[in-house]
Amino acid sequence: MHKKSTYFILGGLFGTTVLSGLALTAPQTLATPLSQTTTATTTIRVKSTCSMTATIAPGKQHAATMINGQYLADIGLTTIQTFCNDPSGYVIYAIGYTGGDAGVTGNYNTVLRSDTLGSTYDIPTNTLTSGDDYSGWSMKLASVAGTYEPTIGSTTEEVGGVETVYPFTAYHTVPASYTKVASFDSSTDLDTIGSSITTTYAAYIKPTQPAGTYEGQVKYVLLHPSDHAAPAGNYKMQDVEDWGGTIAIGQEVTAYDDRDNKAYTVRRMCMSGTGDNCTLANSMLWMTQNLDLDLSKDVELTSEDTDLRVVDNKAYSAGYSQDSLGVIHWTPATTTITSINTSTGKFNNWVNDNNKAYSADPDAGNPNSPWYATGEAYNSNLCYVSSNNQTCNYLNANNTVAPTYFSHNAFTGNGNHGKIGNYYNWSAAIASNASGGYNTSTYNNVANNPQNSICPKGWRLPTVSSVAAKSEFARLNNVYNGGNTGNGNKLVQSPLYLVRSGHVVDGSLNYAGYYGYYWSSTVSNANVAYYLYFRSDNVNPANNGSRSVGWSVRCVSEY
């Protein structure tokens, strides 16, 4: 846009002064010309668009018939086309997987096989050619000449104590974990935002391989910018609309949050019936680990990655904007507190505020700290374990024991799901810088609940309601705890894996290891909201309490 400038010139001024009845005329002087400049600025926001499609060439389908120790290359010629206008480029990661999840056995990822065959006859990935004593399959990529050619990646592998670089331009082991296979560092020219690469597969089948159908699958993930870290899970939380419907009732998968690349387990839960005996229509996807997203007043979130659906004058005006493409932008007014006063055991600068967002991260970026998980955490030099091994106290700078932060009971039965995550007050949980506009109960009509949250796009906070079908914590307790309100021990076990993570009030963590608290989006009044509360001898799926307290968050999805 051009800046438009307007100039104003002040011309000469004449003044007259009267003294003792005599008229005196002041000399005519021309004032020094002055100028003023005004600037009109228009901001145009261009939406980031990156996508990828795959097309199998006619006659090159991923299928081949092989017998008697045969080696076959160039199976399934597939063209992978990319489109990405991120000026910092993009990166493609690949992983070999079985069904909807990675199947890793030893150093190999196994593949689907005929139901009549045992696992002994799986076909692992390798760069075999012929004459070997076991079967294997591999992959190769190449850039297609065009507007630009992305860089084909390579990996360094150690074989027999020797590190060797294996480029994906030659047949290469299909990765058992997400591995970078192609990238493009920048894409600023409008003529160079599309590209293509091809991928083919090779296989060697030993003579004694039993007859049957074997399938290997490779998933490719396009991420941007080009230095984006490898996915932490097999699905992206923000793409739940695409993959959520493929998750069976009772199935648990790992998905990553594209905002910070942290991984979470998610599971399709029954919302009525007994256990996992229900229909898809009566089920929902639930996170089975606590949300651990850090907020920052220097990092903007958008409706493309976060559950932001409205901009209004109730709670979603401060820090909010909506561009011409309909994308909602929110900049949190506060940053997640990560510093702890080791003398008092309090989060520094936490304020009990019913209206303004506050959040706290107990692991302070250290996943091995005693706040975060079980197991090795209790062997950490940050943790003093009492004689009965039930409590873990933080050691302050003087190597003396500070207040008890949590007990081992916080995780009993959770297995590797025992992550405390972050603590959020209700304003932070609903992604609001000023939530005071929500001051009327929505218990009887959750349609009036806040429509935004800090959950990933496609996910939201659970609801609590007088309408049974909308009281999602109660429905979950009915199915997986038999509706029991006098014992919450099943809630920390499979498949829910809730955590007795306690709460933060006045900056102090209280009752961790004894009580669990999880926010809903339902309003009680200007100072109070609804939440799930449980302990070993009590469960209340519709409790209510101060919106200023820091509690845990689990997100749900209807996909």
The pLDDT of residue 209 is 78
Burial of 321 from C-beta contacts in 10 A (0-12 / 13-18 / 19+): middle
What mean pLDDT do residues 306-333 have? 94
| Nearest-5° Cα angle at 178, 175 to 180 | 90
Q: Which two tokens stand for residue 85?
A: 């206008």
Task: Report percent pLDDT > 70 for the chain.
Answer: 74
* More confident site: 397 or 276: 276
The angle subtended at Cα 534 by Cα 493 and Cα 476, nearest 5°, is 60
SS3 readout for 117-133:
CCHHHCCCECCCCCCCC
Segment 19-42 mean pLDDT: 60
Residues 544, 546, 547, 549: is their CA dihedral positive or negative? negative
pLDDT band at 300 (very low <50, low <70, confident <90, very high): very high
Instruction: Domain ranges for the chain, please list them.
Output: 50-287, 340-557
pLDDT of residue 295 exceeding 70, the answer is: yes
| Torsion (CA) 476, 477, 479, 480 in degrees, nearest 10 | 100
* pLDDT for the residue numbered 431: 98
The Cα–Cα gap between 355 and 531 comes to 17
The residue ranking higher by pLDDT, 97 or 267, is 267
Using CA atoms, how far apart are residues 256 and 240, in angstroms rounded to an integer? 11
Across the chain, mean pLDDT equals: 79
Q: What's residue 500's pLDDT?
A: 82
Q: What confidence score (pLDDT) does residue 416 get?
A: 63
Report the C-alpha gap between 348 and 46 in whole angstroms: 39
Instruction: Average the pLDDT over each of 147-161, 315-329, 375-389 and give the range with the smallest value.
Output: 375-389
Give percent above pLDDT 90 in the chain.
Answer: 44
Q: Does residue 381 surpass a pLDDT of 70?
A: no
| 3-class secondary structure, 446 | helix
Is the model more confident about 395 or about 138?
Answer: 138
pLDDT (0 to 100) of residue 447: 97
H or E stretch covering 540: strand 538-546
d(CA 505, CA 425): 9
Q: DSSP for 473-509? A: HHHHHHHHSTT-SS--GGGGSTTT------EEETTEE
At 419, list the tokens.
């992550």
Least confident of 232-246, 339-353, 536-550: 339-353
Write the CA distances from 229 to 93, 105, 540, integer angstroms: 9, 24, 40
Range from 43-47, 382-386, 479-483 carrying the lowest mean pLDDT: 382-386
From residue 136, alpha-carbon distances to 58, 63, 195 in Å are: 25, 15, 30
Q: Please enumerate in sequence order all residues whose Cβ is within 8 A of that of 37, keeping only pairs 6 or more positions apart, or say none.
A: 5, 6, 7
Task: Give the number of other Cβ atoms within 10 Å of residue 235's Cβ.
Answer: 24
pTM of structure: 0.80
User: Mean pLDDT lowest for which of 40-54, 71-85, 234-248?
Assistant: 40-54
Tell me the pLDDT tens digit for each residue of 495-515.
Answer: 999 988 888 999 887 777 778
More confident residue, 257 or 512: 257
CA angle 529, 557, 234 (to 5 degrees): 130
* Least confident window among 11-15, 289-293, 383-387: 11-15
Closest residue by Cα to residue 354 from 555, 554, 552, 545: 545
Q: Indicate the pairing of strand 263-270 with strand 301-302.
A: unpaired
Tens-digit pLDDT profile for residues 89-142: 899 999 886 433 333 333 334 444 444 444 556 677 777 767 677 778 889 999
Torsion angle in degrees (nearest 10) through CA of 546, 470, 412, 416:
-110
Residue 345: the pLDDT is 64
Range 244-258 average pLDDT:
91
Q: Write down the pLDDT at residue 492.
A: 86
**Position 13 pLDDT exceeds 50:** no
Helix (H) or strand (E) holding 475: helix 472-480
Q: What is the pLDDT of residues 336-359, one digit of tens each?
A: 998 877 556 678 899 999 999 999
61-75, 102-116, 229-243, 450-464: least confidently modelled range: 102-116
Give the pLDDT of residue 389: 43
In the block, tokens 């590209």 appear at 195
Residue 3: Cβ-neighbour burial (10 angstroms; 0-12, 13-18, 19+): exposed
Of 465 and 497, more confident: 465
Give the best-scoring range by mean pLDDT among 183-187, 227-231, 390-394, 555-559.
Answer: 555-559
Distances (CA, A) of 302 to 48, 341, 376, 437: 12, 33, 36, 22
